[in-house]
Amino acid sequence: MIEIAVLFAISCVGLAMALNLWRLARGPTTADRILALDTMTINAIALMVLMQIQQGSAVYFEAALLLAMVGFVGTVAYCKFLLRGDIIE
């Protein structure tokens, strides 16, 4: 039962990442592309958590934590660059 539920959730998150990719390629403004990339990072974290439930191993936790931190820093850096034309002033 859990196997089927995990498979369903992984399919949903994979489809969600495809939708994010569509928005990333198409998004009319630069802020749209930043938002799509940030959502893709969050979906990747969800995918890692689901993968380790499926495999029964806890080796992806550090990767998911690192992705959470680096994704946030990257998004803020993109926004600062758009706002100020520079990241560290």
Partner 1 sequence: MMLDAGPIEILISAILVVGGFFALVGSWGLARMPSLMTRLHGPTKVTTLGVGSCLIASMIYFPATQGKYSAHELLITLFLFLTAPITANMIAKAHLHRQGRSIDPNPMDDIAEGLPETGLGTGWATFEGQDAERADPPR
Footprint on this chain of partner 1 (rule: CB under 8 A)? 1-2, 4-6, 8-13, 15-17, 19-20, 22-23, 28-32, 34-36, 38-39, 42-43, 45-46, 49-50, 52-53, 56, 58, 61-62, 64-65, 68-69, 72, 75-76, 78-80, 82-83
Q: CB of 22 within 8 A of CB of 39?
A: no
Shortest distance, CB of residue 41 to partner 1, whole angstroms? 10
- 25: buried, middle or exposed (CB in 10 Å: 19+, 13-18, 0-12)? exposed
Shortest distance, CB of residue 54 to partner 1, whole angstroms? 10
Shortest distance, CB of residue 88 to partner 1, whole angstroms? 15
Q: What is the DSSP letter of 38?
A: H
Q: How far apart are the C-alpha atoms of 43 and 16, rounded to whole Å?
A: 7
